[in-house]
Structure 1
């Protein structure tokens, strides 16, 4: 049932069950108060008089005579006003109770992403220079023609072709300017998550719960689909082109589609007022079965907790910021070109992909102090690698709206045969899967330019659920991971990860011979080892090799993602770990002995490679370790790996380090 509250903080409404205890109502009242003294909190059925202390009331709301729609008047004193009258014991009790009241406010316990903390510390104003035509003041003055604009200014967004407000600009539009006289009501979070699910039990308490019965108090309102005015992420940035190239390598070799989770972090995006961008540092590919026209995978994937924990331990903490998949098909006449499948006359995201995106966003909400539940929306981005009009390959990025997420959560929509159409499900009153579907409408302009409202049943265009996200690559790349040469996970038969390959590469890099920086050593070898180690796929594989402990893995990934990777001392903490020493022990045991250059004294045995000059072995060792200027070049009979620059001088079509096809 609905209980209305009126106090000096404002008017409030709470949905409570008739059988709810009075303590539940008191807890909700405390959420609206400002430092209330619980010993003075009283309620009444009149604006003046008949006040009763809540500490003396017990029982359910129904037993106390409260019914649906009743108005309750609340009065209290603040702790500062009543503190001199309180004994030390009562004071400590009040403090504990006040702490409990604060703990019941979910938005105050939220730990937001650093990018949210950054924008909350800024005013977000858009600066403007002095207008020579209209400004009549001096250089230090300001007028309406040159004063900064609000981050949600409509004219600025229209001029710069910005379709959606950024999330924090949208919050500034909803939140009034805070002042000393601002009431606690205005300071309450302005956002609440959309929900199209029937309220069970009904707040009125006047009928059996759904699906037996339903009323206006528990049923969701009619839905009008409309373009979302804001977006949670404004830009998707891929830190390096190598990330996409390595992801596409599987499709180029097999022709089957691939799926991967985007590992990265969020940063301020200055191209949009108070904008946020998702920076992708790696793509992790879960177990999957690629097909010519799609991908089959399971959710949640088994390795998800380990991967997320590993990403959080990076030098700059990383997280899953989205996912990417390929939708590529070669042209029939020219196999070197790709088909142009996603365009205005076709679709951008199919209805099946939009429903999947809503599922993923629902399971990855964003912590926010601006929501009454402490959670609002999601920043996970959907990225698609698809063909372009000129036969190339490009990235497109999207999110689905909050309406789409709420409709999927209420099991109201599903994919249709036509990829550009979403189907609205029929109502179901079954005991096992009760589904209530309210009226759904969408608006569009007809052939006469008139705004028309149309029922979305049984279907509507998928574009009403999409939010566009721009994307691109940085002008000056500075990726967290320097290498992408190691074999990628979950590509059986195409790229196989093995500890033997890791040990062989460590031996080729002379890793067992590299000491801590204070003990000297070849700095070029240290640099080559640091660059090789800075590979997401390598670090993720070592974490499941059972040779490195979880604590040591945190040191491994902090070293691999260190911004000071060129510092000679960056490897010292890694070398001191037990996990590294274990790897070095196995490397020494599995490394074959270097061929002898001459026979031992007094021996009658002649080695097979006695006639090979030692300079040849030295040259092979230098090329394997990546010494010199860092770029390998092929001779007449040599082949070069395009990814790790390893030079193969003794035959073979695949690189001995990363396993990729050689060139030359």
Structure 2
């Protein structure tokens, strides 16, 4: 087969067998580029980006790399500095005669995209063909029941006609992968990954090494190309699903009480989404609120947040592993005429996400990439969803969900854009070469339709609409909610002045549920089973578990067992699932504190019968014993009982002394 090679020295053509080793291609490259440093040679299927070092492809043949007749391979390398003998030609793999890998193969190591562990939803979609079946069309299909034609054959997940008919604006991530992955005879794992992270930074050092590094010098080989902003054809998440309305109601409660805006991170997981071909949805099971300062028209939150490692580790130990799938913030303002309604401020006539919020979203998405076997460095884009709780047109409150595009993330990483006073406008920064962290800003353009319906290309400097950076994500609530956590009643963290998380509240709750007396399920009675169900329901609270992890009462293994037990979907139906929790040392320690926290039990026979006044709980037991020992045995009359006890008509305390006033309230006994 014919393979074309393009390097900085020109274009070349060579004939290879499909089974030819990569070493043969390398030798041809060195023939055409005698000054190339072999250890720096990279090949790619596109002019810029997706470069892969030849040294990483040892032992691979051209067919397994997806190369076919007529393909064009782009070659880049660094020139030798001290002549041809300065850098030896790297070894290529030689087949071993004993069936074991050769020394060169052993030195190759694992490629970045092969070492990553993808999310369970990615593993699922890679095992599916993704095609959409169609039934036989009675109008056009002329074949038998077992036949197939163009009118009834399954559609590819990226079929443009289907997406247009179903009003689906973006391809799902895996449908996009199916579209851009070459149809080669080898398996997908054997191909060069089709994705490469987008970057608008100047390459340092320059691949040509013909000038001083940036900012002292720049050339076409190291500077980024001009940017044309366009709608991203795919999205990493197609739908945001909040497992229960209670999750949002508890989050909104702080705003309802104070009027100050709130921020929280979505804790959840990813699942297949059947409304979009090969779709993915983010399912929110809880909201964790980091330390923040709310204001009437905004808020301040520290990023990165201090408790992120602990919260992520706690989430990973749920019965269904959880992670941070996004974040949510409020932008609510009551209307002047009716304080029960909210101002409708985010719409097509104003903005959906402000430029500041879009830059914030890009920053967080860059910090939370998605692991991918289809990317040259093992990571690509992000599944972090941005959600806003804001007013609707009729004055209600609804969720809006977005992501920002890869272009937005790359521009923020390159320090090219900034927020403006107008929330719907993004400013392009000026180029700056005056310091070490110099900024290079290439030409930026965007397209729009003018008043005549014609598409026009316009420079984005100094500013452009923020909509060019946004990717819409649908949202909703399940028809039959089955949240992982059964309760949302425990106090929420970092709400000073509104709610406080105290161990005393936990102990009181456990005493109310009778937890200290509960045995393991093998010793349970019918009444114990009912108590265990109520205990499981109360303990299955994300905020309660997150708080107990900070008390020091539970070891790392104990808190893992706690999370697994109370987050089980069947914990209310199968009470034995609580057994691993009740058997931990941390739980036993908590029960000891609960018993000590219980109020003292007053004697029912030897001590005088008193009223249910709370002041009695502060009287030491010794006083009751002394009073009981001095009780007279004779009878009496009036308000004096047969045991010589006189009941106070004011506080109902049973007096045993001979005085005229009550020894508790001090009023006359009558």
Q: Which residue of 2 aligns with 1:221?
A: 225
In the aligned structure 1, how far is the partner of 2:350 from the partner of 2:121? 36
CA contact (8 A) 2:402 2:471 kept: yes
SS of residue paired to 1:346? coil
How big is the shift at 1:115? 0.4
Match of 1:555 among 555, 561, 564: 561
CA contact (8 A) 2:238 2:276 kept: yes
The equivalences for 1:575-594 within 5 A come to 575-594=582-601
SS of residue paired to 1:199? coil
SS of residue paired to 1:268? strand
Q: Does 1:485 align with 2:475?
A: no
Q: Deviations over 1:186-241 (max 9, x none)?
A: 81100000100001111111110111111001100000000000000000000000
Match of 1:424 among 424, 428, 440: 428
The equivalences for 1:350-429 within 5 A come to 350-429=354-433
Larger Rg: 2
CA contact (8 A) 2:59 2:105 kept: no
Across the aligned residues of Structure 1 and Structure 2, the Cα RMSD in angstroms comes to: 2.8
CA contact (8 A) 1:595 1:609 kept: no
How big is the shift at 1:376? 0.3
How big is the shift at 1:60? 8.4
SS of residue paired to 1:531? helix
Q: Deviations over 1:589-620 (max 9, x none)?
A: 11113455x332xx5x343349xxxxxxxxxx
**Residues 575, 198 of structure 1: CA spacing in aligned structure 2 closer, same or farther, 3 A cutoff?**
same
Unaligned runs of at least 5 residues, structure 1: 37-58, 611-664
In the aligned structure 2, how far is the partner of 1:275 from the partner of 1:540? 31
SS of residue paired to 1:500? helix
**Residues 478, 145 of structure 1: CA spacing in aligned structure 2 closer, same or farther, 3 A cutoff?**
same
In the aligned structure 1, how far is the partner of 2:292 from the partner of 2:612? 47
Q: Which residue of 2 aligns with 1:295?
A: 299
The equivalences for 1:641-660 within 5 A come to none
How big is the shift at 1:165? 0.1
SS of residue paired to 1:224? strand
Match of 1:531 among 533, 537, 546: 537
Q: How many pairs are equivalent?
A: 566
Q: Which residue of 1 aligns with 2:441?
A: 437
**Residues 97, 560 of structure 1: CA spacing in aligned structure 2 closer, same or farther, 3 A cutoff?**
farther
Match of 1:151 among 154, 157, 175: 157
Q: Which residue of 1 aligns with 2:333?
A: 329
How big is the shift at 1:99? 3.8
In the aligned structure 1, how far is the partner of 2:36 from the partner of 2:327? 43
Q: Which residue of 2 aligns with 1:108?
A: 114
**Residues 119, 223 of structure 1: CA spacing in aligned structure 2 closer, same or farther, 3 A cutoff?**
same
Q: Which residue of 2 aligns with 1:451?
A: 455
Q: Deviations over 1:276-309 (max 9, x none)?
A: 0000000000000000011101111111110000
Match of 2:313 among 305, 309, 314: 309
How big is the shift at 1:76? 6.1
Unaligned runs of at least 5 residues, structure 2: 1-6, 43-51, 62-77, 614-670
Q: TM-score, normalised by structure 2?
A: 0.80
Q: Does 1:179 align with 2:204?
A: no
The equivalences for 1:616-655 within 5 A come to none
Q: Which residue of 2 aligns with 1:608?
A: 611
In the aligned structure 2, how far is the partner of 1:2 from the partner of 1:479? 58
CA contact (8 A) 2:266 2:288 kept: yes
**Residues 22, 63 of structure 1: CA spacing in aligned structure 2 closer, same or farther, 3 A cutoff?**
farther
How big is the shift at 1:140? 1.7
CA contact (8 A) 2:94 2:104 kept: no
How big is the shift at 1:3? 9.0
**Residues 515, 400 of structure 1: CA spacing in aligned structure 2 closer, same or farther, 3 A cutoff?**
same
Q: Which residue of 1 aligns with 2:53?
A: 28
In the aligned structure 1, how far is the partner of 2:107 from the partner of 2:372? 21
SS of residue paired to 1:495? coil
CA contact (8 A) 1:347 1:420 kept: yes
Answer with 339-348 or 3-12: which moved more: 3-12
How big is the shift at 1:66? 9.6
In the aligned structure 2, how far is the partner of 1:231 from the partner of 1:147? 26
**Residues 272, 546 of structure 1: CA spacing in aligned structure 2 closer, same or farther, 3 A cutoff?**
same
In the aligned structure 2, how far is the partner of 1:96 from the partner of 1:354? 50
How big is the shift at 1:568? 1.7
Q: Which residue of 1 aligns with 2:658?
A: none
How big is the shift at 1:21? 6.8
How big is the shift at 1:318? 0.2
In the aligned structure 1, how far is the partner of 2:139 from the partner of 2:188? 42
SS of residue paired to 2:325? strand
CA contact (8 A) 1:9 1:32 kept: no
SS of residue paired to 1:359? helix
In the aligned structure 2, how far is the partner of 1:533 from the partner of 1:344? 44
In the aligned structure 2, how far is the partner of 1:455 from the partner of 1:149? 39
How big is the shift at 1:20? 9.9
Match of 1:319 among 320, 323, 331: 323
SS of residue paired to 2:53? helix
How big is the shift at 1:97? 3.5
Q: Deviations over 1:522-562 (max 9, x none)?
A: 11100000000100000000000111111111001101111
Q: Does 1:347 align with 2:372?
A: no
In the aligned structure 1, how far is the partner of 2:379 from the partner of 2:351? 31
Q: Which residue of 1 aligns with 2:506?
A: 502
The equivalences for 1:267-306 within 5 A come to 267-306=271-310
In the aligned structure 1, how far is the partner of 2:568 from the partner of 2:500? 27
In the aligned structure 2, how far is the partner of 1:97 from the partner of 1:329? 66
**Residues 350, 518 of structure 1: CA spacing in aligned structure 2 closer, same or farther, 3 A cutoff?**
same
CA contact (8 A) 2:59 2:92 kept: no
CA contact (8 A) 2:59 2:93 kept: no
**Residues 2, 250 of structure 1: CA spacing in aligned structure 2 closer, same or farther, 3 A cutoff?**
farther
Match of 1:61 among 69, 80, 89: 80
**Residues 589, 76 of structure 1: CA spacing in aligned structure 2 closer, same or farther, 3 A cutoff?**
closer
**Residues 75, 504 of structure 1: CA spacing in aligned structure 2 closer, same or farther, 3 A cutoff?**
closer
SS of residue paired to 2:593? helix
Answer with 570-579 or 20-29: which moved more: 20-29
SS of residue paired to 1:311? helix
CA contact (8 A) 1:265 1:317 kept: yes
Q: Deviations over 1:376-434 (max 9, x none)?
A: 00000000000000000000000000000000000000000000000000000022330
